Structure formats: structure tokens, C-alpha cells
Amino acid sequence: MNTIFPVISLHREDVHWEDHLMSLTPVENREGIWFKREDYFAPLGYGGPNGSKLRQLIYLVNTGLKDYHTTILSGASIKSPQLSMSTIVGKHFGRDTEIVIGATKPHTAIKYPNIAIAHGFGATFRIYNVGYNQLLQKRVHELRRDDTFVVEYGITIDHHTSSPEEVLNFHLLGAEQVKNIPSEVESLIVPAGSCNSLTSILTGLIIHGQGNLQSLSTIGIGPDKLLWVLERLKYMGLEVSNLDLDWNHVNLHELKYCDYGTEMPYSFGGIDFHPTYEGKVMRWLNENSPIPQDGKHMMWIIGSAPNIEVVRPFFSKNSSTMELIDHA
């Protein structure tokens, strides 16, 4: 059923999502190319909010949420999956959600899938007249209360303020996912956005072994964070030099191929790739260095775009009467 979850439910009496954090998502061979299907980490069914970021968010909430936390607080771009993910995870754990967005109006914001999904699950919105992420995150922390659990931007933890053990435990979730890379795969291709998933993959290869991998291609889609990855690995006591890989890195943002927020729909082998992430990576590869369809190459799908129709049956009963709160 294209999801690793045996029970599709929002309710904890039916399933605890955190019980499946270490379950391996499958790999599939489509027309001679292997794909790691992290988009099958989809607790509300394939097409609902999904992927490695959702796994990390469930982990953070499960380990950090306290009884006195009544509300999940999260802020990001209106296009960010962090908003829909924060809301459904909040609902699963029986908490309300407050969302901070900027430089938009309610009638405009609701047109974006992640906003519409968060709205459908009953989130409360605070809209500010600035869109710069730095200022949005400042607003998030100004709204922080004793009863709020804050989802940090990018669904991560800061290795400048957290211990090496805490950072390592955070990445061990994704590190587990390298265990079912097929033995015939010699080349791995990984999109690099926030680079949390890339850090987890490298953690896994260092800890669990690289198998028969000979090369790694990382393709950045935003401001480059490669130095951040290396710093983070070193902080955890992990050395990339322990890997015997030919590592090639390009950044589409710096090549001026596209901006971070550019959407580029792309399909291959029956897979519709996320237009903001894997879609632009696959399109760039097709135009510049097509992936050989020889069964030796693997593309890591970190997640797919959510489909509001998939999750509409789970919407809160009061979602249609909820109003977005406009704060100037």
C-alpha cells in the first residue's frame, strides 16, 4: 500500500507513529535506476505528509514533548512541508498547533497545499507582514510560552547548543536507512537542501559501512551547506575520510540553474518527484548528466509533495470554520 505503516490512522489508540521510526523504507528499481522511497514513510497513507523530515519531526516531538506542552509552535515559508507536518504530528500527539507565516494574506496562503493541510487539521495561523525567514523565526521565539513546544526551522537540532550524543541520536534514525541499499548499487545520488537527510545518510555509511558504493553525488538546491555537514559530522565524532568514495558535489542554486523556491515538476518510471526538491535534481541530471539505467545507480528520494485529497478525510470537524489570524 506504498507506506511502511501497517495501520493508517491519526489516533494513538490505533497506532503510535514513533514505533516505526526505525522501519526501513523500501528501494525500488524503476527502468534500470534504483530509488530509495523515503516518501513511503507516510503515516496517513501515500500522498499525505511524508519522508525523512517527518520521521525526524516525530522523533523530536516524541522525545521532547512534555505533559505541560499544550501547543506545537512552528514557523516557515508558506511552501514549507514543515507546516503541514507540524500540524499532523501535533494532532497525533493530541496537541494544538500554531503556525507563523509572513508576507501573505489568508486568501492567498490557503491556496498552497501545506497551508491548506495545516488549516484542515485546525491549525491557528499568525500572519506577519514580513517574509524574511530570520524575522519569522524571531516571531516564533517571541511567541514561545511555557506551554509551547517549538519546532526549530528545518526540523532539526542545533549542534552548537546540543550535545554530540543528542545530535548523533537525531541522525541515527536516517542512518538506519542505508542498510537496504542493494549490493549492486555503486553510485548514490542525494539531493541536498537543509542537508539533515544528507548528514544522516553519511552517518549511516560511516557507521554501517558503504557496501559496494564507489561514488556519491550530492546536488544542492539552496544556499550551500556542505561545510555545515562536515562540521556536524566532526562534532559527532565521525570522519568522512573513513569512506572510500569519489564524492562529487554541485549546487544548482550557485550555478544559477534555479532558485530554492523554484518548482520543476518531473516524472520518471511512474514516480512524480517533489517539484521543489527531487524534481529539479532529476531535471538537471537529465539535461546535463543522465543517470545510466544499468542497475548500478540509486537516487535517494527524501520525500514527495503532499496531496490534500489524501488527507482530507482526516481533517478536523471544525476546520471549515477556523479563521486565519492576521497580525501586522
Domain range 54-159+309-317, CATH architecture: 3-Layer(aba) Sandwich (3.40)
Contacts of 166 (CB under 8 A, 6+ apart): 157
Sign of CA dihedral 160, 161, 163, 169: negative
What pLDDT does 322 receive? 43
What pLDDT does 1 receive? 66
Alpha-carbon gap, residue 25 to 201, rounded angstroms: 13
What pLDDT does 316 receive? 83
Q: Which residues does the chain have with pLDDT short of 50?
A: 320-322, 328
Burial 55-88 (b: 16+ CB within 10 A, else e): bbbbbbbbeebeeebebbbbbbbbbbbbbbbbbb
What pLDDT does 81 receive? 94
What pLDDT does 264 receive? 95
**Closest CA relative to residue 145, chosen from 76, 68, 75, 85:** 68
Alpha-carbon gap, residue 111 to 248, rounded angstroms: 38
All 3 cell numbers of residue 239? 570522519
Alpha-carbon gap, residue 59 to 22, rounded angstroms: 10
Return the axis-axis angle of helices 81-92 and 52-64, rounded to nearest 10°.
40
Mean pLDDT score across all residues of the chain:
94
Sign of CA dihedral 135, 137, 143, 144: negative
What pLDDT does 321 receive? 39
What pLDDT does 132 receive? 84
For the chain, what is the radius of gyration of the CA atoms? Answer: 19
Domains 20-48+161-301 and 54-159+309-317 share a fold: yes
Domain range 20-48+161-301, CATH architecture: 3-Layer(aba) Sandwich (3.40)
Domain boundaries, the chain: 20-48+161-301, 54-159+309-317
